[in-house]
């Protein structure tokens, strides 16, 4: 049965990638949450999609240039609405402390260039220390990050993220599926726009999970459900639930 994953938490209702957004995702009925992990100047793990805090906080600058204490001084809620004034950027540890509410979490590790191995090691150690009992999928657009995860612990579930363009033509899509197979990754994360049932069937024949992202419209959600995707990573959790129950 297809699982519903709330993309960056329920960020229509609360500031994206924050504790309030993740709690709202649970209230909305999501099976799990997807979020992005980055590393600060002092090697702490924080949750934020963009490499800068410009769009999501009252500050400006790159996450890698701030310490955790400095980042905690910025307001990550006020730009969403006054209701969330003084919402702070969460650490991975803080998110994992509420993750027991969910069946599954998808941790996207953002590429850190020369610090890739450091962030991967810290993320894995943090998750293990928390003893989360649900499923964990580690994903990234950066294959070097994925290979590092595999090198450090080949029992972990690894998902390769792909852009919309990566599946825009059949030959490209099949080439990328072969790339996932060749690396023995357990999951593939394509955009919903060009995903076809035949791609899902090819992946399932090889025991590869298909976790699509970008399925928000009724048409795309229906298409992904019909194709048999394992996870739908969406901004519209309630809409997916309505479609699955109709």
- The model's pLDDT over 83-117, given as tens digits with 9 standing for 90+, comes to 999 999 999 999 999 999 999 999 999 999 899 99
Surface-to-core class of residue 154, CB atoms within 10 Å of its CB (0-12 exposed, 13-18 middle, 19+ buried):
exposed
The per-residue pLDDT for 246 is: 82
Buried b (16+ CB within 10 A) or exposed e, 195-217: beeebbebbeeeebbbbbbbbbe
Percent of the chain with pLDDT over 70: 100
- Going by pLDDT thresholds of 50, 70 and 90, the confidence category of residue 76 is very high
Surface-to-core class of residue 237, CB atoms within 10 Å of its CB (0-12 exposed, 13-18 middle, 19+ buried):
buried
Q: Which residues are paired to 231 by β-bridges?
A: 3, 211
Is residue 62 predicted with pLDDT exceeding 90?
yes
Angle formed by the axes of helices 170-182 and 197-205, to 10°?
A: 20
Topology of domain 3-245, CATH: TIM Barrel (3.20.20)
Cβ–Cβ under 8 Å, residues 108 and 34: yes
Q: Is 204 a catalytic residue?
A: no
Is residue 194 predicted with pLDDT exceeding 90?
yes
Q: Give the residue, 246 or 154, on which the prediction is more confident.
A: 154
Calculate the average pLDDT of the chain: 97
Is residue 131 predicted with pLDDT exceeding 90?
no
Q: Is 80 a catalytic residue?
A: no
Q: Which residue in the list 7, 80, 189, 204 is annotated as catalytic? A: 7
Surface-to-core class of residue 3, CB atoms within 10 Å of its CB (0-12 exposed, 13-18 middle, 19+ buried):
buried
Q: Which residue in the list 49, 80, 189, 204 is annotated as catalytic? A: 49
Is residue 216 predicted with pLDDT exceeding 90?
yes
Q: What is the mean pLDDT of residues 185-209?
A: 98
Nearest to 37 by CA among 96, 109, 99: 109
């Amino acid at each position: 049965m297809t699982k519903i994953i709330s993309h960056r938490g329920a960020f229509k209702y609360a500031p994206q990638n924050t504790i309030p957004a993740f709690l709202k995702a649970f209230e909305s009925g999501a099976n799990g949450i997807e979020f992005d992990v980055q590393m600060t100047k002092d090697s702490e793990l924080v949750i934020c999609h963009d490499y800068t805090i410009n769009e999501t906080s009252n500050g400006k600058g790159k996450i890698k240039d701030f310490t955790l204490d400095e980042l905690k001084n910025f307001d990550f809620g006020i730009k969403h609405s006054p209701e969330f004034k003084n919402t702070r950027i969460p650490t991975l540890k803080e998110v994992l402390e509420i993750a027991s509410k969910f069946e599954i979490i998808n941790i996207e590790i953002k590429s850190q260039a020369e610090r890739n191995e450091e962030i991967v090691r810290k993320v894995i150690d943090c998750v293990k220390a928390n003893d989360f009992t649900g499923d964990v999928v580690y994903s990234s657009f950066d294959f070097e990050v994925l290979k590092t995860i595999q090198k450090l612990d080949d029992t972990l579930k690894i998902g390769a993220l792909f852009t919309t363009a990566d599946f825009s033509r059949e030959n490209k899509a099949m080439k990328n599926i072969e790339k996932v197979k060749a690396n023995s990754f357990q999951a593939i994360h394509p955009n919903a726009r060009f995903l076809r049932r035949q791609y899902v069937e090819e992946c399932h024949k090889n025991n590869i999970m298909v976790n699509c992202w970008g399925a928000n419209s009724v048409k795309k959600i229906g298409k992904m459900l019909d194709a048999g995707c394992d996870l739908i990573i969406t901004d519209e959790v309630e809409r997916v639930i309505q479609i699955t129950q109709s």
